[in-house]
Amino acid sequence: MKYLLTLIMPLMLMMSACEQTEYVVPNRTVVVDIRASDWVTYDRGYTWETPVDLPEYDDYNNDEGAILVYRSLDNRNYEQIPQVYNGFAYSYVATAGSIKIEAQSAGASIIIDRPAAMTVKIVLIDSNY
């Protein structure tokens, strides 16, 4: 039994000593304050939108990476977009160089008031595949 254990033990150590390669791709976070006056409407108030200049989000990120967008009304608690809050349906459209944040009624085609000021946190996630 001891002889068997002395043969198996070095084999187990060799197997567990294999080198593992781990790739860590850091993300980038951009925080933007949006004033209430930044929201514009092109359809008399059914949809409000605001552009956010985002040069960090380039063609490569748009094709290969990912983007997460969060909004906060109190600069402390962030909630992920898309979401519905107080009758507003928030969403976003990302293109290389910018994102457009939109707000519209969560109900059927209802004119809504201009959205309030908010802080937006944008997380850019690179990919290495």
pLDDT in tens, 11-61: 565 665 556 676 666 789 999 999 999 999 999 999 999 999 999 999 988
Write down the pTM of the prediction: 0.76
- Residue 26 corresponds to which amino acid? P
- Residue 69 corresponds to which amino acid? V
Q: Which residues pair with 94 in a beta bridge?
A: 99
Rg of the chain over all Cα atoms, to the nearest angstrom: 24
The tokens for 8 are 């198996």
Calpha distance 126→27 (Å, rounded): 6
Sequence-distant (≥ 6) Cβ neighbours of residue 80 within 8 angstroms:
68, 69, 70
Look at domain 25-125 and name its CATH class: mainly beta
